[in-house]
Amino acid sequence: MAARGLSHARDGRTVMQIGDWTLQTGCHALLLGPSGSGKTSFINIVTGLLTPTQGELWVAGEAMSRLPPAGRDALRRRTIGLVFQTLRLIPALSVADNLALAQRLALGTADHAEIARLIDRVGLAHRANARPRQLSQGEGQRAAIARALCTRPRLLVADEPTSALDNSNATRMIDLMFEAANATGATLLIATHDGRIAHRFANRLDLVAPMANAA
C-alpha cells in the first residue's frame, strides 16, 4: 500500500495530511494520532470509501483513488478485509453463516471447508453455530477477524479495534490480528488513538491534528 502526496480537506480545511508513505506487503503498521487527526479519513481513503482531495493511494498495485466508485467497490471486495470497531456481525446469522455471507458477497461463492478452518484457527470451532449475541466480547472479536480474513484479503484494516477494550482484551485483539495477518501473509494496518498498543508496532505513522485553515 502506498500514499503519494496524500492529504484531504473538508470545507477548505486540511483534516488529514499523510504525504508520501509506503507500507510493504506483509508488514504491519500502526496509524496513531489523537481524535480528529484524520485516522478515519485515511482509512476511508484506503478502503475507497472517500476520494482524497489531493494525491494518490495505491492498494495491491492499483490506484484506488483514481478508480470510479464501482471499481473501488470491486477492489475493496477483492483485496481488503475490514474489522469494525463495533464488529458489525449480522445478529440473525451464526458465526459460520456470517463468514459464508461475506465470502458470497466478495467471491461469489462460499467455501465451507475454508470457513471451518478459519473458525478453528481463531479458536471458535465450538461456537461456529452460535449467534453473535451468544458470544463473549473476545469471541465476537475473533469472529469479526475471521470474517475479515475469509475473503483472503491482501490488506487487513481495522479502525480503533481496541479503544473500547480493557488491557487484556486489547492485547488479545492485537495478538490475534498479528497472528492472522502472519498466517495469511496479509498486510496489516491499524488506526488508533490507543497509546497502550503503540509499543507493539515497529512501523508507526504518527498523525497530528492539522492546524485550522492550513489548506
Ligand X SMILES: Nc1ncnc2c1ncn2[C@@H]1O[C@H](COP(=O)(O)OP(=O)(O)O)[C@@H](O)[C@H]1O
Residues 75, 67 contacting (CB under 8 angstroms): yes
**Residue 170 in grid coordinates:** 486489547
Residues near 89 by Cβ (< 8 Å), separated by ≥ 6? 95, 98, 132, 140, 143, 144, 147
Residue 15 touches which member of ligand X, Mg ion, none, C-beta under 5-8 Å by kind: ligand X
Is 16 or 177 the residue whose CB approaches ligand X more closely?
16
Is 26 or 34 the residue whose CB approaches ligand X more closely?
34
The answer to whether 47 contacts ligand X (rule: CB under 6 A) is no
CB 15 → Mg ion: shortest distance, Å? 11
Beta bridge partners of 187: 155
The answer to whether 35 contacts ligand X (rule: CB under 6 A) is yes
Residue 36 touches which member of ligand X, Mg ion, none, C-beta under 5-8 Å by kind: ligand X
The answer to whether 208 contacts ligand X (rule: CB under 6 A) is no
The answer to whether 192 contacts ligand X (rule: CB under 6 A) is no
Is 36 or 123 the residue whose CB approaches ligand X more closely?
36
The answer to whether 33 contacts ligand X (rule: CB under 6 A) is yes
Residues in the chain: 215
**Position among 7, 14, 17, 40 found at the interface with ligand X (CB under 6 A):** 40
**Residue 106 in grid coordinates:** 466478495
CB 166 → Mg ion: shortest distance, Å? 20
Residues near 175 by Cβ (< 8 Å), separated by ≥ 6? none
Residues 63, 6 contacting (CB under 8 angstroms): no
CB 82 → Mg ion: shortest distance, Å? 14
**Position among 7, 40, 151, 187 found at the interface with Mg ion (CB under 5 A):** 40
Residue 19 touches which member of ligand X, Mg ion, none, C-beta under 5-8 Å by kind: none
22-26 contacts, C-beta under 8 A, 24 or more apart:
23/187, 23/189, 23/203, 24/187, 25/154, 25/185, 25/187, 26/181, 26/185, 26/186, 26/187
**Position among 17, 23, 39, 187 found at the interface with ligand X (CB under 6 A):** 39
- Rounded CA-CA distance 202/56 in Å is 25
Positions in the binding site for ligand X (CB under 6 A):
10, 15-16, 33, 35-41
